[in-house]
Structure 1
C-alpha cells in the first residue's frame, strides 16, 4: 500500500491545476503509508482522499482496466450507472463509449479510440483540454504509474476559460459600444498592411461625427453615450464581415476595408455610411440628425506604414470637414460631396 500512496501522491501533484488550492495534499498521501498500520484503514483513508478530491480522478492498472473512479468524475463526465453494471470498465471500453456518444467530436469511432490508446501507451505525462458536447470545458491530465497503469484527473475549467475570454475581450473592445478599440484596430491594421505589401488593396476610413458636441451640451452625456451606441450599430450594418469598425475615442471611428478591387468599392462604402447617417437619431425622444465626415487613405498607394496611413486618412478627414462636412475625401485628391 505505501507504493500506491506514492503513486497517488505523484498523480495528484501532476494533476493539480493552477489555483486548485490543494496545498499539502500530495505530501499527505505520500506519507500515508508510514502513518497507517493496517491495510484496511489505509484503503479507507485513500478512498476518502479520492472521494474528496476537487476533480474527477480515475486509476487504471497495468492492463489498463479501471480500478478507481470517484463520484466527481462520474458526475462531471455524465457516466451512466449502466457503464459500471459489470464492474469498472477498461480504458478501451471507456474510450469507445465516449467516442460513440460524440465526446471527441466527429470522425471515425475506432480512430478516436486508437489515437487515445496510443497516447496512453506512450507512457508520458500529458495534459489537454476538450469541450464536451454540453459546452463544459474539461482539463484532462494523465500520468503513467510505476509498474504500469495510469492515473487520470479531470477538472471543470469552463468558468475559468470564460473569465479569461471576457478579460481578453474587454482588453480589446470599447466598453461603451463593444466595437474594437484602438489596440485591436492597430493589430488588425498591421495584418491588413501585411497583405497590402504583397499587392492586396485595402483602405482606412477615418470618421468623425458632425454636430455631436451639441448633443452632449443640450441633452447630457448619457444621451450622448446612447447616441454613440446607435452610431456603432449603423456602422456595423454598413460594412461586411471581413471589415473592421473601431471606436478610436470620443466621436472618432475608423474602418479597415479589405477584399476590395478598386477605389469604386471604397467610394461605395463611404457613400453608404453617409446615406445611413442622413436619417435622424432618436435622442431623448427627439429626432436629431448627426452627420459624418470621412477621410480615406489607401494602401499600398498612399502608405504601407500604419502611422503614416492613419495620418493621411486624418488629413483627408480634415479636408472633408473643411469642405462642408457630410462628405468623404481621399488623401491627395478632394472628392465631391455626396450627390455631387
Structure 2
C-alpha cells in the first residue's frame, strides 16, 4: 500500500503548480487522500478475492519468494504455522519442506526440489495432479506472470476423480456380480488375441450353469441373483490374477486364460472349476448342487480373431452340454 501511496503522490505532484495557495493546497491534499483511500480499497478487494478463491492460491515474486498464500491453501496442504514463523517461505524452501515430509513420494529430497524448481524456471504454464500421503488428490496449476513472478493454484479433485473412477468401473463391470461385463471382456480378449498372433498360447473358456433355471422358477429371482453373486465369487477364486472372468449375460460366463504353456493348462483350469461347482451352493437356506459345463477354444490354433474364438468355444460348450453336462470339451474341427 505504501508503494501505491507514493505513486499517487508522485502523480499528484506533477499536476500541482509550484506556487500554490492555501485553498489549492487543501484541494491537493484532499485529492491525495482520495487516491490513498482508493488504493486501500483496491488492496482490500484483492485480499478478499484471494481469501475467497475456491482453491489454494499462492503468489511468488521474480526471485521466487512467496508474497501471498491464502488460508485455503494452508488448510488443503496442511501447512503448519511454524512454516510461516519468519515470514513467507521461498519456493525452494517450500519444495524442500514438502519433499522432506513425503509429499512427493519416495526419492532423494534434493532431486525432488531440483525437478520442481526446473519446471518453474522454464516459465511455462503447467498443470499436473499429485496424490498426497493422506490420499487427497490435488490438481496443481502454475502460471508465470509479467515481471518474473509465478502464481500457483491448488484444487482438491479427490471426489471428482473417485466419481470418474466409479463411472468407468460401472461402464465395464456387471452391476450384479461386479465381474467384467461383455465390453471389458471383449477388450481383454482382443489384447490376448493380439499376443496369440505372435505365438503366445491362450484359451477362451465359455461357461454355462447347468441347473440355474430351476432356481429362478422354484425360489424366485432374488434367490437367483444371490446365487449368481456366489457363482462369481467361486469363479474368481479359481483363476489367477491376470486371467479375466466375465459375466456375458444371464447365466453365461467366460474366461480369458493367458500365459499358458500348453493345452493341459487350459484343461486343468476347466477341471478345477467343474470340481468346485460340484460343491453345493446354499439357495434360500437349502443346499443346491448347480453344476457347470465348459467349452474351450485355443489360440492361435483354433483362430486368431475374437469372434472366431468365442464362436468355437460356444460350439465346444454345446458339445459338453449335449454330452451329459458337468464336463468340458475343447473345440474340434
Q: 2: CA distance between counterparts of 1:45 and 1:226?
A: 61
Query: Displacement of 1:40 after TM fit?
Result: 1.3
Q: 2: CA distance between counterparts of 1:180 and 1:211?
A: 23
Q: 1: CA distance between counterparts of 2:290 and 2:271?
A: 15
CA deviation map 1:33-52 (0-9, x unaligned): xx996211111110011000
The change in CA–CA distance for 1:36 and 1:245 in structure 2 (over 3 A counts) is: farther
Helix, strand or coil at the partner of 2:68: strand
**Match in the other structure for 1:124:** 124
CA deviation map 1:130-169 (0-9, x unaligned): 0000000000001001011100000000000000000000
**Match in the other structure for 1:197:** 197
**Match in the other structure for 1:18:** none
Q: 1: CA distance between counterparts of 2:179 and 2:66?
A: 50
CA deviation map 1:260-305 (0-9, x unaligned): 0111111100000000000111000000110000000000000000
Q: Within 5 Å, which residues of 2 pair with 1:258-273?
A: 258-273=258-273
Structure 1: gaps spanning 5 or more residues: 5-34, 334-340
**Match in the other structure for 1:246:** 246
**Match in the other structure for 2:214:** 214
**Match in the other structure for 1:160:** 160
Q: Is the 8 A contact 1:36 1:42 kept in 2?
A: no
2:62 equivalent to 1:59: no
2:312 equivalent to 1:312: yes
**Match in the other structure for 1:94:** 94
Q: 2: CA distance between counterparts of 1:103 and 1:37?
A: 43
**Match in the other structure for 1:49:** 49
Q: 2: CA distance between counterparts of 1:290 and 1:76?
A: 53
Q: 2: CA distance between counterparts of 1:157 and 1:46?
A: 25
Q: 1: CA distance between counterparts of 2:260 and 2:239?
A: 12
Structure 2: gaps spanning 5 or more residues: 5-34
CA deviation map 1:78-134 (0-9, x unaligned): 000000000000000000000000001111111110110011111111100000000
Q: TM-score normalised to the size of structure 2?
A: 0.89
Moved over 6 A (4+): none
**Match in the other structure for 1:81:** 81
Helix, strand or coil at the partner of 2:237: helix
Helix, strand or coil at the partner of 2:49: helix
Query: Displacement of 1:211 after TM fit?
Result: 1.0
Max radius of gyration: which structure?
A: 2
Q: 2: CA distance between counterparts of 1:123 and 1:38?
A: 33
Q: 2: CA distance between counterparts of 1:104 and 1:133?
A: 9
Q: 2: CA distance between counterparts of 1:51 and 1:266?
A: 63
**Match in the other structure for 2:282:** 282
2:139 equivalent to 1:139: yes
2:83 equivalent to 1:72: no
The change in CA–CA distance for 1:257 and 1:36 in structure 2 (over 3 A counts) is: farther
Q: 2: CA distance between counterparts of 1:242 and 1:94?
A: 42
Q: 2: CA distance between counterparts of 1:261 and 1:300?
A: 13
Q: 1: CA distance between counterparts of 2:124 and 2:273?
A: 58
Number of paired residues? 301
